[in-house]
Structure 1
């Protein structure tokens, strides 16, 4: 057996509890190899479950520890980590939650998990210096240049269009010693909410977004100038407040780089 095949056999045995320990292990005998490998398999699974529980405390609070750990165990045993960085592994967890049938009765669970995953991304994203307000003032003083201005968004910022009140549910759990004490009684969970996660400096910020902000940020992320971004918003959304969209950029430091780039 080649080294690659041996490694693949070892990894597969870790994820399948009914599979026998791989051959070639140093042990007193087959029974000893099975016993020792079972301990290693259990440590492998429990470590990843613990990592997911730590990364998704609100998601766990919504379903309870027992349900969450069972769900996380299924996630661990289905697709193995493709990276040695556990934070990267955790960011993919919401996709599993969305397809986990026993969680289907909680339709907002995957979106809440996504907020927690985006916070992980924001915390570990590259640093960048937000554009100072003076750059905006110069741009507003020459409105003829505004439409052609292009911006570079901060690498830490991400957003989510949720069909549920994912932001309100997540926020209701903040600042509590015991997350199970969160009160969701006043939240209309069927109310769609758009969510922003950003880290303009050193602290991750989570907030809701005004109407049209998702389409606006999508356009900017795709490299469209401000004028085209506003046109896109106006064709896809109603009751859009342009000043509110600019306020999102400025207040949360979403634009980064040495300056705002103008088309020539």
Structure 2
């Protein structure tokens, strides 16, 4: 048994947007080791593209580790989309290679510029909103999307000045961009709060007029205040927690458009990772309230409300329950929810008894609960349930210390399916001897295996691990070299699915027979002195359904 923290994996819980349900946070080097070791519960991580363009080094190493367990978004800061000079093609090519490698959920960049021909300014600089700059921005976005082979997300800027030459509003400029290029948007709510304060605009009116239908992702961050004597300004600093006014504006935004994938952006004066997690959890609380509001507004029928309340662990159904208090409603509905999870967990435990032994009852119960949420049964025949359990378990970070677990689950599921498969006649040893006696040349006969026979070469010693957990087994788990590949034959014997451990010679002999080879052809690579014993062992297995002369 192993000790595992029963925390759910977020990576396989997808919304219709393709993002995980949970909010994400910025990925920073000071948190690499903790993330790899602890696999914290967050939805995804965002990287700045320019920090990962080198061919090697620790950043690439840890990103490769982390992306095994979490989705990634890529946020560019150096393409200079709003610049007058042409895009740096070499830099864009490197970004495209990064995107191809990472396969991020989205790639985003800023409505700003940072390069002017041979000069790079390490900042996001403003641009006038004119027809000329609009054409330049759109041309640059077209080039980026063509090379990346995907639509990009454009982020609204935080600005501290405006140009006299501007001929259109920022919202008109952004709306024209998405109409001309087909790009999507990343709404930075903090940028809205910063820019509207700096230009004495109403941030709520800005949100009301923003093209929300094109928003694919939201950023939240903290800002600083420059209390200079001339004019106080908010600074988009990304070095502190999200402020209360930004939280309120964020909630208002979601109330207008519905839930949106969200990231906590924190780039300077980095805190402990737990504080980033806490900020993401606050965003999730607001998102959950908004989801429930939209669901209640949509007037979901009782069956939909109950289904969502069971699978999503929500209270969507409570408004439809007739009871004196919320606590009473929850208590009454909990009977149904508990019945569903308890009965389906028991069904999975019967299908995967050895998997349950390996991880222990508490962890298996947690694992089953999350599997049920992601993969509820589609049929009342529960012996068919759990086909996706092996693949699902491979996505659970806490099971990375048990690399054989997914294949063990595949073995258990296949044995159950063989048990419930139709019983098919096979030849007895006497039948086989009689057929051989009738063959003019037995070596030229074709041996047909039973339809239930499945030859399998797992990469781990799952057969031995399975046997070690049987009640009458003398095999000790500590004596198993678990990472050693095996040769297995799965079949049906006396109504039950069983498996046999094979030698390499046995495995390849049966494999050739299954492919239609004669006995002579199938055994041509077997040493003559080994064949009698191997042949005798083969006869004892109930797997031959017919012996045919060639």
Considering the TM-score relative to the shorter chain, is it more than 0.5?
Answer: yes
TM-score in terms of structure 1 length:
0.74
Q: Give the corresponding residue for 1:120.
A: 416
> Which of residues 149, 156, 160 is equivalent to 2:446?
149
On the 8 A contact 1:108/1:164 being kept in 2, the answer is yes
**Secondary structure in structure 2 of the residue aligned to 1:162:** coil
> Which of residues 497, 512, 516 is equivalent to 1:225?
516
Is 1:252 aligned to residue 549 of structure 2?
Answer: no
Alignment of 1:50-65 (within 5 A): 50-65=346-361
Offset at 1:194?
A: 1.8
Offset at 1:184?
A: 1.7
Alignment of 1:149-168 (within 5 A): 149-155=446-452, 157-168=453-464
On the 8 A contact 2:445/2:547 being kept in 1, the answer is no
Higher percent of residues as helix? 1
On the 8 A contact 1:153/1:254 being kept in 2, the answer is yes
C-alpha distance in 1, partners of 2:321/2:533?
A: 65
C-alpha distance in 2, partners of 1:27/1:46?
A: 25
C-alpha distance in 1, partners of 2:303/2:513?
A: 44
Offset at 1:211?
A: 0.6
Alignment of 1:124-203 (within 5 A): 124-141=420-437, 142=439, 144=441, 146-147=443-444, 149-155=446-452, 157-175=453-471, 183-202=476-495
What CA RMSD, in Å, does the superposition of the two structures yield over aligned residues? 3.7
Is 1:210 aligned to residue 515 of structure 2?
Answer: no
Aligned length, in residue pairs: 248
TM-score in terms of structure 2 length:
0.39
Bigger CA drift: 193-202 or 104-113? 193-202
C-alpha distance in 2, partners of 1:247/1:7?
A: 60
Offset at 1:61?
A: 1.7
Relative to structure 1, is the Cα distance of residues 148 and 47 closer, same or farther in structure 2, using a 3 angstrom cutoff?
same
Offset at 1:101?
A: 2.5
On the 8 A contact 2:442/2:519 being kept in 1, the answer is no
The structure with higher relative contact order (CA 8 Å, sep 6+) is 1
- In structure 1, the gaps of 5 or more residues are none
On the 8 A contact 2:447/2:519 being kept in 1, the answer is no
Q: Give the corresponding residue for 1:41.
A: 337
